[in-house]
């Protein structure tokens, strides 16, 4: 029988092992399971992040809405669980809006937050899965929630997959619009009061990728560069399918929204991906960011349904990507989505080192020993020599993750086959990438390295790639090398980063429950 001291050592060792892969500047839950971001809304000085949460296990289970708030989208404070399962079922994904004009009549002449989400249960008559849309509302900045007594507010009895509502106010039509997915397409509904909804249109049959079930829609308008024109962006996540190695991922469409339905600008078979890494899914944007700010900001679940339940993180499981500002740019190949981490991330910079005009040859790679494992790396490279260049992130053990660029193939890639712990699922160790055309013979890379994640933004956010990694030891070296010829590294900046401390823990979460 172990002594008390021995038990404390065992528990401490377990905690250290559980937390060795916990990110230090990406958001993660205090404990147990987390997946899709939900209810992203800005209200009275706070950014709210709700998320799919199973508070009693580290694998997907009965869904609740976890909750955190922030003033800058970087430093977060955990709040008690916002929404619990009830007589209508588990609480699947959804959104929040600010009902500024009390169109719902739920706020007695004032305004407040309304959550629109999917209730998921089993139909007692048929025994089939059932998904219906419901409401909850809060008059105290999201701290306590009341379920609407008339739930559910939208049902489609002939649909099994019918979930993930995203709602916004359409000022031209003076009504609320809901985008909700139905298996292989998205449906649009209109409402004057958030309580009564009518179908206005459908989109998606035969459009884009159908490698998996459609999930987590989002629809919003963005300006194109400084042209004075704008386009609507429809984001659709695609669930895992056993025939496709990429697993779950996210596509986007560019087009118009006429108040009733979305019209695609591109041919039906034209596919545009939000992220070319393996670990960015179910991303949606914040609503009600003030016009004075003007940004459209997205965050995604940093995992993949191929292996999400198996990642080696211990008691907790799941993290979010960095929050990213979205914009549109017009290129020869069409209108494309640009992604850049929010400027608030610069608050984490601790120390910076810079180099210019570094000549790199096979015999003389650039090597920098590191004392910190949280890094932001900015590099501009002249790639006209035609040789492949590699940025290697090495640990003090045997792990290495490679960000590479092959100018001949115009191919940017991440190789995580030797990134550390990879044996928990056969799909995890992989080399994958995207086409990247150099600009004036140069490419730019902006790399963010956390303890369990790497995010790469190329050519000012034209390409984004997000991957989890589980190194066997902390990072201790950056190496930039070439196979042949020579490269000129025009500029290189390495910033070490502070970690974020998230107040609150799981013991606080049970202290306040939602009122049914």
Which stretch of DSSP H or E encloses residue 130?
Answer: strand 129-138
Residue 383, SS3 per DSSP: coil
Quote the pLDDT of residue 386: 72
Beta-ladder partners of 255: 232, 264
Which stretch of DSSP H or E encloses residue 76?
Answer: strand 76-83
Cα separation, 441 vs 436, in Å, equals: 12
> Nearest-CA neighbor of 34 among 281, 245, 323?
281
State yes or no: cis peptide before 480, omega within 30 of 0: no
Residues 29, 249, 341, 425: is their CA dihedral positive or negative? positive
Residue 5, SS3 per DSSP: helix
How many CB atoms lie under 10 A from the CB of residue 369?
Answer: 9
In this structure, whether the domain defined by 350-497 belongs to CATH 2.60.120.560 is answered with yes
Quote the pLDDT of residue 18: 58
Cα separation, 445 vs 97, in Å, equals: 35
Domain boundaries, the chain: 350-497
Cα separation, 180 vs 186, in Å, equals: 6
Residue 19, SS3 per DSSP: helix
Catalytic pick among 36, 279, 382, 415:
36
**CA 250 vs CA 210, 283, 438: distances in Å:** 11, 8, 24
- Annotated active-site residue 293? The verdict is no
* Prediction pTM value: 0.94
Token couple for 401: 């993750």
Quote the pLDDT of residue 226: 82
* Residue 192 DSSP code: S
Q: How confident is the chain (516 residues) per 10-residue block, as mean pLDDT?
A: 43 53 96 98 98 97 98 97 98 98 95 98 94 98 98 96 98 97 97 98 97 97 93 97 95 98 98 98 98 97 98 95 98 96 97 96 95 96 89 94 96 98 97 96 97 97 98 94 91 97 50 38
Quote the pLDDT of residue 385: 81
Quote the pLDDT of residue 250: 98
Residue 481, SS3 per DSSP: strand
Cβ atoms of 222 and 326 closer than 8 Å? yes
């Amino acid at each position: 029988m172990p002594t008390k001291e021995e038990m404390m050592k065992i528990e401490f060792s377990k905690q250290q092992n559980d937390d060795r892969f916990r990110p230090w500047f990406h958001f993660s839950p205090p404990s147990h399971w987390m997946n899709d971001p939900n209810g992203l809304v800005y209200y009275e000085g706070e950014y709210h992040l709700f998320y799919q949460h199973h508070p009693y296990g580290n694998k997907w289970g009965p869904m609740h809405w976890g909750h955190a708030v922030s003033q800058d989208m970087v430093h977060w404070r955990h709040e008690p669980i916002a929404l619990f399962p009830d007589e209508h079922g588990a609480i699947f994904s959804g959104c929040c809006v600010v009902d500024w004009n009390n169109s719902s009549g739920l706020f007695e002449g004032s305004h407040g937050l309304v959550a629109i989400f999917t209730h998921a249960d089993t139909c007692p008559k048929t025994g089939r899965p059932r998904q219906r849309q419901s409401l909850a509302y809060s008059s105290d900045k999201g701290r306590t929630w009341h379920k609407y007594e008339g739930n559910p507010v939208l049902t489609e009895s002939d649909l099994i997959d019918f979930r993930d509502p995203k709602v916004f106010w359409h000022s031209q039509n003076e009504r609320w619009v809901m985008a909700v997915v139905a298996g292989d397409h998205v449906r649009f509904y209109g409402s004057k009061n958030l309580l009564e909804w009518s179908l206005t249109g459908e989109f998606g049959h035969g459009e884009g990728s159908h490698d998996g079930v459609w999930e987590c829609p989002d629809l919003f308008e963005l300006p194109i560069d400084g042209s004075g024109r704008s386009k609507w962006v429809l984001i659709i996540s695609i669930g895992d399918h056993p025939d496709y190695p990429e697993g779950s991922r996210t596509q986007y469409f560019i087009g118009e929204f006429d108040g009733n339905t979305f019209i695609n600008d591109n041919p039906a078979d034209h596919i545009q991906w939000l992220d070319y890494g393996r670990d960015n899914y179910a991303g949606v944007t914040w609503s009600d960011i003030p016009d004075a700010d003007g940004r459209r900001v997205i965050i995604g679940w940093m995992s993949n349904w191929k292996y999400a339940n198996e990642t080696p993180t211990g008691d907790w499981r799941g993290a979010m990507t960095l929050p990213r500002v979205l914009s549109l740019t017009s290129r020869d190949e069409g209108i494309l989505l640009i992604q850049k981490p929010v400027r608030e991330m610069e608050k984490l910079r601790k120390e910076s080192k810079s180099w210019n005009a570094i000549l790199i040859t096979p015999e003389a790679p650039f090597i920098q020993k590191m004392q910190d494992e949280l890094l932001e790396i900015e590099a501009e490279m002249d790639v006209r020599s035609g040789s492949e260049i590699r940025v290697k992130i090495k640990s003090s053990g045997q792990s290495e993750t490679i960000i590479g660029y092959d100018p001949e193939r115009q191919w940017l890639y991440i190789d995580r086959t030797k990134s550390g712990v990879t044996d928990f699922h056969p799909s995890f160790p992989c080399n994958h990438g995207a086409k990247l055309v150099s600009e004036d013979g140069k490419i730019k890379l902006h790399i963010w390295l956390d303890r369990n994640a790497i995010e790469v933004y190329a050519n000012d956010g034209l390409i984004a790639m997000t991957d989890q990694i589980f190194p066997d030891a902390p990072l201790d070296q950056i190496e930039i090398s070439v196979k042949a010829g020579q490269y000129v590294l025009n500029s290189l900046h390495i910033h070490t980063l502070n970690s974020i401390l998230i107040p609150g823990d799981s013991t606080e979460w049970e202290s306040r429950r939602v009122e049914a």
